[in-house]
Amino acid sequence: MASGVDLAPLQRAVRSLSAAAANTPREMGRVIVSAQRAGGTEAKRAIAGQYNVRQSRIAGDLRVQGDAAALRLSIVGTGRPLTAASFGGRQLKRGYRVQVLRAGPAVVIRRGFTQEGIAAPLMRTSKARYPIRPIYGPSTPDMLGADRVRNPLGAVLVTRLTKDVERRLEAELKKV
């Protein structure tokens, strides 16, 4: 007497696995799109965590680009240096006070002043009344490129992307 084994469930599992494998490029594209959204948010958080500047001020100067085919994500900072007012500077009797780094000391610029109607704080470049120039801090590309921002940001993004890939992989395997 011969005994037989029903292989239909195994065939369904093999078909499901091949369908999951076929969906891999699409899912990786979704991971990159998700990473683009998360990358901008995490970059703003990383910069605002180290520098005394608002996330909304940084947002306009960041571009996040993703390439699903190459599995690449790049965060590019653009723009000119930010004025000292963006770093929460204020006018004092003895000059203009600004704290660029959250953990750093506040600096008083003796020749610094603000003028009504002009958004940027100004500084006299000589003892004379003129010439004057705006007081600037670092630009968004400078802040993004600093080791104190770049290294923790990379670690956070890798962790976040790894969790996203694992979550999507588990979801595909549950379909099997």
Residue by residue, pLDDT tens for the chain (176 residues) are 455 556 677 577 667 767 767 777 888 888 888 989 999 999 999 999 999 999 999 999 999 998 878 878 899 999 999 999 999 999 999 999 999 999 999 999 999 999 999 989 999 999 998 999 999 999 999 999 999 999 999 999 999 988 988 888 888 778 76
In a domain, 48, yes or no: yes
Domain co-membership, 70 together with 16: yes
Q: At 141, which amino acid appears?
A: P
Domain co-membership, 18 together with 65: yes
In a domain, 46, yes or no: yes
The pLDDT of residue 153: 95
Domain co-membership, 23 together with 108: no
Domain co-membership, 100 together with 57: no
Domain count for the chain, please give it.
2
Domain co-membership, 129 together with 149: no
In a domain, 92, yes or no: yes
H helical segments located in the chain: 8-22, 24-50, 55-59, 140-145, 147-174
CB 30 within 8 A of CB 169: no
Domain co-membership, 67 together with 19: yes
Domain co-membership, 133 together with 149: no
Cα end-to-end span (Å), the chain: 34
In a domain, 1, yes or no: no
In a domain, 117, yes or no: yes
Q: Which residues contact 6 (CB under 8 A, 6 or more apart)?
A: none
Give the distance, in angstroms, between the CA of residue 10 and the centroid of all CA atoms in the same chain: 45
Burial per residue of 45-81, b for 16 or more beta-carbon CB atoms within 10 angstroms, e otherwise = bbbbebbbbeeebbeebbebebebeeeebebebeeee
Domain co-membership, 123 together with 151: no
Query: What tokens does 144 get?
Result: 């993004």
In a domain, 90, yes or no: yes
Q: Assign residue 131 a region (left: φ > 0; alpha: ψ between -120 and 50; beta: otherwise).
A: beta
Range of the domain at 133: 83-138
Domain co-membership, 126 together with 145: no
Q: Which residues contact 8 (CB under 8 A, 6 or more apart)?
A: none
The pLDDT of residue 1: 47
The pLDDT of residue 5: 58
In a domain, 164, yes or no: yes
Domain co-membership, 19 together with 66: yes
In a domain, 39, yes or no: yes
Domain co-membership, 24 together with 40: yes
Kindly report the backbone phi and psi dihedral angles of residue 92, in degrees, each rounded to the nearest multiple of 5, phi listed first. Answer: -120, 170
Q: At 72, which amino acid appears?
A: R
The pLDDT of residue 3: 54
Domain co-membership, 74 together with 159: yes
